[in-house]
Structure 1
């Protein structure tokens, strides 16, 4: 028997000599093979090793004769990534036609500080605005995971997609069974973040108490999911009692624990928190006439009279009064919001005060913040929730939808957690109200260079992803959409940049210590991470420290698990070649923790790896650092079998 690494255009491989000089393997024997592998492409490269018997071979002194050949194959994926920090930029548009042709330009920017040959671009066409969210069940209809809030975002995403497809009669049995299975697992996972008193928190019982911002979210989505999965009414009753115990005499709800993102809601959260809870209770099915809801409405009305409201609060209250059926107050706020709306290129949207980052300015593109997406989605929900929606309001809402749809990334998500929940809720509601089976569009993308590709979108393929690669050497493209109906088109640019020199909001450093450099698979050292807040606020929101592993290295699991057990970090997640540390907040006082990494594969010419920290609810606040291995004696490259 002999083993062979199959050749491929994706890599170059050379068999390395070993101490065992025998070429083949006889019965009850074993042999190690080693190849020097040099990848030629980025992405997942499949290494295929085939072991097969030979018709005739002399192994030592014993001849082996076989009348047939037996073969076994092993395929091992190898992830090949460019150095630097991974980035993604999308340009999305919801294009609607009514027998006409609409033309738009697509410009692929040239990012500064770009890692050579790291750019990849794609063009996607969807027949539904939720296409990016539904193009692959592994993206939004995925197994819920992570901390309590993130789990609920995935749970709610699953619910909205399932409910939308069901109400528009597009739900297949295959999607239904998978979505319901994910909801069940998400429900069971969320219960692990429940406190004995019925409340929920970001990290579950390890937090001292439940939190008012996340508990209504869980309560609401458990209630609306009852048509699809079993929800324990006793648990729901306990949660409702906890919420009622935190409603004060004036009808306002007490804020227990930190808010989702305090940078948005500020110190006085009477209006936003109470309106948020009232909305959840109404959406969960409680009658508007019930005492908790009526008292909550009295609270927000009194608080709104006492001071000027922000744009965010106006949008939130407009939705609250829409749900409560208070048409006069809803219309007053919508009129007030229309006065401050920005209008450009057929879009209607609201911006909050925010200066573009250095990278945004260099690219000529401004990403919307989580707070801005929430604001626009609340306005959209306030308009669409009206029982007697006029054609004028629907047309106005469609212009907001076009702005919201532009904020989606290639996976159908948005800036953060709560804005993803709200955006999917608003977009699915809009899609239900405007759904039509009588639509058919042709999409053509072309450039001045010899490139042209056409797509056809109809009822049969409206939920399917149609995607092609684009050349990044050509920066200018034009897309033309004709026919009847709407299509969602998206250009995605993925690239890597070298470590930025500037940071905002945080200090971050990383050092190596306690190195053990004994050669092959006996190399280990510690990473010492130091961080603090440098922002205008004394404390950040929840912060995430993302540590990229060096090529060929993996984190030492016991060391990172100990950090979580000891309470130095609230949660640790390992995903692909990254380790994510979640911290409830970062203050101006420096924190420090360390963990171990060890060699897992032999690699040569190891490039430095980066580490970054960012505010989970405001990724424009971030800092970067990098580290290298203190052991440089590795002499092999690629993977060993």
Structure 2
């Protein structure tokens, strides 16, 4: 027999440096050996790199250089003094120096960019030299930037001159910078037809995004490099664990990429949906979320106003006479529905997005929406989620009476145990952070901080909310789901701005009975620096002491595995495995049954995560019937996992999904693989099961 056996042998932390040989053998006496070295560990060396665009155009006015010894400083370089339009220079060079904190070691880096007077190149491709009346005249327009890279999603204007008459079209380039056209020639009458094309180049004062108007962003980064050079008597390596120093920087390029990617989900009518053309129509909630996101990105990157206007017009087309907005398309985040009804909470969310966009309370769509919300407030407030969301919406609308009424009501039902303050929902899980509780608590915090201070609801009141939110935050900075993370971070940022002080410093000391002593210093120079240290005494008793005057966030995270909880689960999940175990190549069919048992009529979007058995791969032919299932919106393959996206599950309805997997490498002592189902927007609603190979477990069924 052949296979894989995974064993390990612990080494002493004081092991002697040098070369070692490890030998393994089987019961037949056959053996194999492998050499390895033990060397001392040292901190990594760093290299300073300056990243510049390949070219700087004559339209550019300034370059932004970011660097200092902590990696956070800004120096504006005025490139107009180089008279770029007179072509006096060919290249632009930048040199920078970084001093390593604590050692005084200085490292230098440099970068170079070339100057050009070419802003955009527009050329025709695959265009016939002659046309025949009645047969479509087809071709392409290629649009590239100053560095010859394609310019995607760019409006291109095409003009036709024919016998004294003219026609024009507006095209848009694809991801490769190509705009294709097909023209009807049936009415062309002259022997010679003239075609021309151009794009608009925007100019103006102030800052513009780099992909539209050429603002130059110079980024300086320190990258850890692996090396065999000795530092003292130690070998330098790049650490994967231990202290991590993360510099927080503004990445406008990443924001631009996300903006362009979001446009891939846009429908022709200006709406957006999670699976684009796979969805019958756009979705009101997702369209308003995109509207909100584009509005937030506008101060930092170029956002085409047409995209915002089209999304708003589509939403307005679904506003009823009473001002409420109808839910259209699949609403994957069903928490928007609340207890009052989906139209009220959805209308409140969209109205908040519109007010965040420009703060225009006299906008006709906003005024009609507020009528809908005021009518809802006059009814019984039996949905905490909707009440919290409306309190923020009325705060943005500057309606202080409605804001005060809703916040006063929320105060009466708040949970203030442990010196904290948050808002609960009856359906919440008792053992895991509930995403809707995080979200609605964050909306209350936003409502408090988005208007004038109310008597009895000052910063002390908000601080108790922040304490609870901080306790729900995971070690990676997020919360329970995507949506609650977005809202919570927005609220915490608002609180940070309200409590910001340009002065103050603190020292955080951590000690233990085992002799550990470490200090973290937080001051104005490094307050955006994330500092982390590994606690090696587990279990252990630690003492944390803080001295100074400033706001410091301290979090201790412990990772461990636990079996699935035995209490109530919103989902049921079970698996059945059929196996073809004869022959050298084993194949299995894994069937997953999922059922929703929760209190809602229907879930949000549901994810089924199937981990493949070790040594097995997916038979991709089995994806065809899965993708043809109308409830399946998408299937992804990610490093030994199959991720199945479902529209949602209806209460008490069981669905079955099957996959075929094949063995490619025999594995001894094959362990079961986990299958997990959870609500995408409410991750506390989940269930876990596992499956094994019937070829090693006789209790499972087999097929020939």
1:621 aligns with 2:693: no
Call closer, same or farther: CA 1:602–1:479 in 2, change over 3 Å. Answer: farther
Structure 2 residue corresponding to 1:377, chosen from 442, 446, 452:
442
Q: Paired residue for 1:512?
A: 577
Secondary structure of residue in 2 paired with 1:494:
coil
Structure 2 residue corresponding to 1:603, chosen from 662, 667, 679:
667
State whether residues 194 and 201 of structure 1, in contact with CA within 8 Å, keep that contact through their aligned partners in structure 2: yes
Q: Paired residue for 2:317?
A: 245
Q: Paired residue for 2:616?
A: 553
Q: Find the aligned partners of 1:416 and 1:512 in 2 and give their Cα distance.
A: 31
Call closer, same or farther: CA 1:539–1:187 in 2, change over 3 Å. Answer: same
Structure 2 residue corresponding to 1:405, chosen from 455, 470, 478:
470
Call closer, same or farther: CA 1:230–1:601 in 2, change over 3 Å. Answer: farther
Q: Find the aligned partners of 1:531 and 1:464 in 2 and give their Cα distance.
A: 44
Q: Summarize the alignment of residues 290-439 of structure 1 with structure 2, pairs less than 5 Å apart.
A: 290-354=363-427, 356-357=429-430, 360=431, 367-386=432-451, 393-439=458-504
- Structure (1 or 2) with the greater helix fraction: 1
Call closer, same or farther: CA 1:617–1:390 in 2, change over 3 Å. Answer: same
Q: Find the aligned partners of 1:12 and 1:458 in 2 and give their Cα distance.
A: 49
State whether residues 579 and 586 of structure 2, in contact with CA within 8 Å, keep that contact through their aligned partners in structure 1: no
Structure 2 residue corresponding to 1:470, chosen from 532, 535, 538:
535
Deviations 1:211-267 (Å, cap 9, x if unpaired)? 111111101111221222232332222211110100001111011134444356146
Structure 2 residue corresponding to 1:612, chosen from 676, 695, 704:
676
Q: Find the aligned partners of 2:21 and 2:482 in 1 and give their Cα distance.
A: 42
Q: Find the aligned partners of 1:493 and 1:571 in 2 and give their Cα distance.
A: 34
Q: Find the aligned partners of 2:665 and 2:550 in 1 and give their Cα distance.
A: 52
Q: Summarize the alignment of residues 10-89 of structure 1 with structure 2, pairs less than 5 Å apart.
A: 14=23
Deviations 1:562-598 (Å, cap 9, x if unpaired)? 6235545212233344322121112333222212223
State whether residues 440 and 457 of structure 1, in contact with CA within 8 Å, keep that contact through their aligned partners in structure 2: yes
Q: Find the aligned partners of 2:22 and 2:615 in 1 and give their Cα distance.
A: 17
Q: Paired residue for 1:107?
A: none
| TM-score normalized by the length of structure 2 | 0.61
Structure 1 residue corresponding to 2:296, chosen from 224, 238, 250:
224
1:586 aligns with 2:659: no
Greater relative CO (CA pairs within 8 A, separation 6+) = 1
Aligned residues: 471
Q: Paired residue for 2:356?
A: 283
Q: Find the aligned partners of 2:393 and 2:601 in 1 and give their Cα distance.
A: 32
Q: Find the aligned partners of 1:558 and 1:532 in 2 and give their Cα distance.
A: 26
1:535 aligns with 2:570: no
Q: Paired residue for 1:215?
A: 287
Q: CA deviation at 1:476?
A: 3.5
State whether residues 568 and 593 of structure 1, in contact with CA within 8 Å, keep that contact through their aligned partners in structure 2: no
Q: Paired residue for 1:179?
A: 251
Call closer, same or farther: CA 1:396–1:173 in 2, change over 3 Å. Answer: farther
Q: Paired residue for 2:54?
A: none
Call closer, same or farther: CA 1:327–1:606 in 2, change over 3 Å. Answer: same
Name stretches of at least 5 consecutive residues in structure 1 with no aligned partner: 1-6, 22-32, 39-170, 361-366, 634-641
1:563 aligns with 2:626: yes
Q: Find the aligned partners of 1:478 and 1:606 in 2 and give their Cα distance.
A: 43
Q: CA deviation at 1:602?
A: 5.0
- Answer with 1 or 2: which has the greater Rg: 2
Name stretches of at least 5 consecutive residues in structure 2 with no aligned partner: 1-7, 12-19, 37-217, 222-246, 698-704
Call closer, same or farther: CA 1:425–1:34 in 2, change over 3 Å. Answer: farther
Over the aligned positions, Cα root-mean-square deviation in angstroms equals 3.4
Q: Paired residue for 1:130?
A: none
Structure 2 residue corresponding to 1:452, chosen from 491, 512, 517:
517
Deviations 1:89-125 (Å, cap 9, x if unpaired)? xxxxxxxxxxxxxxxxxxxxxxxxxxxxxxxxxxxxx
State whether residues 503 and 621 of structure 1, in contact with CA within 8 Å, keep that contact through their aligned partners in structure 2: no
Q: CA deviation at 1:194?
A: 1.9
Q: Find the aligned partners of 1:555 and 1:486 in 2 and give their Cα distance.
A: 50
The range that moved more, 265-274 or 581-590, is: 265-274
Q: CA deviation at 1:296?
A: 0.6
Secondary structure of residue in 2 paired with 1:314:
helix
Secondary structure of residue in 2 paired with 1:353:
coil
Q: Find the aligned partners of 1:230 and 1:504 in 2 and give their Cα distance.
A: 45
Deviations 1:49-95 (Å, cap 9, x if unpaired)? xxxxxxxxxxxxxxxxxxxxxxxxxxxxxxxxxxxxxxxxxxxxxxx
Call closer, same or farther: CA 1:280–1:510 in 2, change over 3 Å. Answer: same
Q: Paired residue for 2:261?
A: 189
Call closer, same or farther: CA 1:173–1:340 in 2, change over 3 Å. Answer: farther
Q: CA deviation at 1:346?
A: 3.6
Secondary structure of residue in 1 paired with 2:661:
strand
Deviations 1:293-313 (Å, cap 9, x if unpaired)? 011101110122133343222
Q: Paired residue for 1:483?
A: 548
Q: Find the aligned partners of 2:22 and 2:354 in 1 and give their Cα distance.
A: 62
Q: CA deviation at 1:384?
A: 1.0
Q: Find the aligned partners of 1:625 and 1:383 in 2 and give their Cα distance.
A: 43
Q: Paired residue for 1:25?
A: none
Secondary structure of residue in 2 paired with 1:342:
coil
The range that moved more, 529-538 or 234-243, is: 529-538
Call closer, same or farther: CA 1:354–1:565 in 2, change over 3 Å. Answer: closer
Q: CA deviation at 1:13?
A: 6.0
Deviations 1:135-157 (Å, cap 9, x if unpaired)? xxxxxxxxxxxxxxxxxxxxxxx
Q: Paired residue for 1:492?
A: 557
State whether residues 611 and 625 of structure 1, in contact with CA within 8 Å, keep that contact through their aligned partners in structure 2: yes
Q: Find the aligned partners of 2:417 and 2:219 in 1 and give their Cα distance.
A: 39
Q: Find the aligned partners of 1:317 and 1:393 in 2 and give their Cα distance.
A: 20
State whether residues 500 and 624 of structure 1, in contact with CA within 8 Å, keep that contact through their aligned partners in structure 2: no
Call closer, same or farther: CA 1:457–1:601 in 2, change over 3 Å. Answer: farther
State whether residues 545 and 580 of structure 1, in contact with CA within 8 Å, keep that contact through their aligned partners in structure 2: yes
Deviations 1:526-550 (Å, cap 9, x if unpaired)? 2221222223344322221121222
